[in-house]
């Protein structure tokens, strides 16, 4: 057996330090992913010697009694809020905000003439647009 054969064999089984690093990488991938990932997608982003099923099992065990848990659905994994604490994340009833008459007029002009500038709005309304009206509309979105 040559030195290259030994190094290839050693690369196949990750050391404890490598396993810990692979676990960190998998955790980061799952937290940052916009959607659930399957084992193949996780494996594609990890080093070749990473044991993805073992990493997933370790993450699931580590997060079992935490505020977030590792969830599997349709063969894909993602972190979700633990069901027993999900109720605290629900938003309270949002009171609808009333727009001033000037803000409503401004919004109507923007909707009808878009895209438009402040000068366009002032031309149509015939009065100067207050910064408050535009700020209020920008805040609402």
Per-residue tens of pLDDT for the chain, all 141 residues: 444 444 444 457 888 899 999 999 999 999 999 999 999 999 999 999 999 999 999 999 999 999 999 999 999 999 999 989 888 887 766 677 788 888 888 888 888 888 888 888 888 888 888 877 778 888 877
107 and 79 housed in the same domain: no
Q: Per the domain annotation, does 72 fall within a domain?
A: yes
47 and 112 housed in the same domain: no
Q: Per the domain annotation, does 91 fall within a domain?
A: no
Q: Where are the beta strands (DSSP E) in the chain?
A: 37-38, 68-73, 76-81
Q: Compute the distance between CA of residue 68 and CA of residue 85 in angstroms, rounded to an integer.
A: 9
Tokens (6 digits) for 115: 């895209």
Q: pTM of the prediction?
A: 0.56
Q: Compute the distance between CA of residue 126 and CA of residue 75 in angstroms, rounded to an integer.
A: 61
User: Would you put residue 75 in left (φ > 0), alpha (ψ -120 to 50) or beta?
Assistant: left
Q: Helix count (H) and strand count (E) of the chain?
A: 7, 3
C-alpha of 42 from chain center = 17
Residue 127's domain comprises 101-140
66 and 105 housed in the same domain: no
Count: domains in the chain: 2
């Amino acid at each position: 057996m040559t030195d290259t054969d030994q190094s290839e064999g050693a690369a196949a089984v990750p050391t404890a330090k490598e396993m810990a690093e692979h676990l960190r990488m998998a955790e980061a991938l799952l937290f940052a992913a916009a959607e659930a990932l399957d084992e193949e997608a996780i494996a594609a982003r990890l080093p070749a010697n990473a044991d993805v099923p073992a990493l997933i099992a370790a993450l699931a065990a580590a997060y079992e009694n935490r505020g977030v848990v590792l969830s599997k659905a349709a063969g894909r994994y993602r972190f979700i809020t633990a069901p027993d604490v999900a109720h605290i994340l629900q938003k309270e009833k949002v009171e609808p905000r009333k727009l001033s008459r000037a803000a409503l007029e401004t919004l109507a002009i923007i909707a009808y003439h878009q895209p438009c500038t402040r000068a366009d709005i002032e031309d149509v309304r015939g009065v100067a647009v207050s910064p408050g009206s535009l700020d209020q509309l920008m805040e609402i979105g």
